[in-house]
Amino acid sequence: MRPGQRVLIHAAAGGVGHVAVQIAKARGAYVIGTASAGKHEFLRGIGVDETVDYRETDFTEAVKDVDVVLDTIGGDNALRSLRVLRPGGVVVSILPGGSNDFHEEAERLGVRGLRMLVDADRSDMRAIAELAGTGKLRATIAGTFPLSAAAEAHASGDTGRTTGKLVLVND
Ligand SMILES: NC(=O)c1ccc[n+]([C@@H]2O[C@H](COP(=O)([O-])OP(=O)(O)OC[C@H]3O[C@@H](n4cnc5c(N)ncnc54)[C@H](OP(=O)(O)O)[C@@H]3O)[C@@H](O)[C@H]2O)c1
């Protein structure tokens, strides 16, 4: 990601999304984030330049000329996200499955579609620690649960509505 590039982050208030927003901003990107309207103030607070209320607006009509999309939603969201890219752009989806047409459609449009698991290495973790150390990256805590209440934490995560990260602590 280079300074000035346009980045679309889906579920930008989520555990992954709110961290991705801050990393993209630290790298000088122009960040567009999707969330329901009640979370747009939170998004602006973490640096999002442009918000999209995915419940009211079809992002494929509201957003264009994007260099990088982070898909954290799954289903056909990765496939649909290919349409908002500029030539040479990339959709990175961290969800498995979805449409079998994803890669074929990317090729047809002259863009790239990637599916990946998080694969952290030492230098990535050091770069993230540096951002955290300088205050450019702050984790929002959606809730803290003792390990004995891990099931409750999972239930909270399963709502798909939390803002930030859920934290488990030793009892
Ligand atoms: N591949 C990997 O290595 C990897 C790593 C981590 C996570 N994941 C996966 O990535 C996904 C996201 O994880 P997460 O922890 O960030 O999830 P999360 O924190 O549970 O996401 C919750 C957020 O998603 C938003 N949201 C729900 N539906 C949306 C939609 N259609 N459009 C836009 N925003 C929407 C909600 O906002 P509203 O309340 O406004 O709807 C909420 O703020 C999960 O499926 C997780 O399993 C994969």
Q: Is residue 84 a contact partner of residue 64, using CB atoms and an 8 Å limit?
A: yes
Query: Is any atom of ligand 1 closer than 6 Å to the C-beta of 16?
Result: yes
pLDDT reported for residue 118: 83
pLDDT reported for residue 30: 98
Q: List, in order of start, the domains of the chain with CATH numbers.
A: 6-115 (3.40.50.720), 140-171 (no CATH)
Ligand 1 atom closest to the Cα of residue 158 is 20
pLDDT reported for residue 100: 80
pTM attached to this predicted model: 0.96
Q: Choose the residue to mutate in 91, 94, 117 for probing ligand 1, maximizing ligand atoms within 8 Å of C-beta.
A: 94
Among candidate residues 37, 56, 43, the one with its CA nearest the CA of residue 14: 43
pLDDT reported for residue 96: 84
pLDDT by position in tens, the chain (length 171): 899 999 999 999 999 999 999 999 999 999 999 999 999 999 999 999 999 999 999 999 999 999 999 999 998 999 999 999 999 999 999 998 777 899 999 999 999 999 998 888 999 999 999 999 999 999 999 999 999 999 999 999 999 999 999 999 998
Count the Cβ atoms, other than its own, within 10 Å of residue 95. Answer: 14
Token readout for 125 is 């973790």
